[in-house]
Amino acid sequence: MSYNLQVDIDKSSGFCFGVVYAIEMAEDILDNEGYLYCLGDIVHNDEEVERLTKRGLKIIDHEILKGLRDEKVLIRAHGEAPSTYQLALENNLTLIDASCPVVLKLQNRIKVSHDSDEQVLIFGKHGHAEVIGLQGQTDGKAIVFQDLAELDHVDLPAKFTLYSQTTKSTDKFYHIKDELISRGYDIKANDTICRQVSNRYEELENFVVNYDRIIFVSGKKSSNGKVLYDVCKKYNDSSYFVSTVDEIDQNWFAANDKVGICGATSTPMWLMEKVKSALEQY
């Protein structure tokens, strides 16, 4: 049976400027030198990481970094804690710093708050690379939480400063802020969510309502991918999350369906185009 699917890719999906910047930096060095170390996955998308590792990108963790000497190491868009820069000095490492400017600005603001003896709270994902870098600006003293329930067991001061990981949901951030204020806390709240990310909520709302089915393409490690997929699901119940072409199920579709493809800020356009080609074969 031929499904005769009509398939479109969302024009506003794909890499944000921070990811584009990091990948272009990596590719330039790979073209010239043949290899480059990268601290952590350059982007939370396994397919793109695999493409770049085939070109010579060597993904390392902080443990391997400690033993590295006299090499170039890429800092990805998520940014790093001050301790990483200190280690680079000690080990004579050249850091190719592709930290996103939005993240760097947030790191600086958090450092200023901490240096002013403010208690810092960060709404973010535990263990996320960006959050580790943010918490590092406070010598690990910032309180990180993923949802409000975690704060029920924390003895919070009457007054504190609230920040957010750049890829979190704006709605959720403001809900948390309002709830904490209603509990009587004196809060200095800083909406530090990247507008290139938050603007995509509305763009996705407008996109997904025009299709019978939505295929949302994202790496499973992407925080931003989870948030944006929830937006798709909210406005089009026939939305499916896939990381690779192999995860698509033909049974999701009916003949002549209009199918929309979209993705996270860490999803490469070539991968969405690969999904489109596969669907057009059905």
SS3 for 59? strand
* Annotation says 179 is catalytic: no
How far, in Å, CA of 226 to CA of 220, rounded?
Answer: 8
Active-site residue, selected from the candidate residues 24, 50, 130, 150: 130
164 DSSP β-pair partners: 123
User: What span, in angstroms and rounded, lies between the C-alpha atoms of 59 and 116?
Assistant: 36
Q: Is 82 helix (H, G, I), strand (E, B) or coil?
A: helix
N- to C-terminal Cα separation, the chain: 8
Region for residue 154 given its phi and psi (left: phi exceeds 0; alpha: psi -120 to 50; beta: otherwise)? beta
Distances (CA, A) of 148 to 104, 107, 120, 175, 194: 26, 23, 15, 10, 21
Q: In what order do the strands lie in the sheet with 159-164?
A: 143-145, 120-123, 159-164, 186-189
- Catalytic site positions: 130
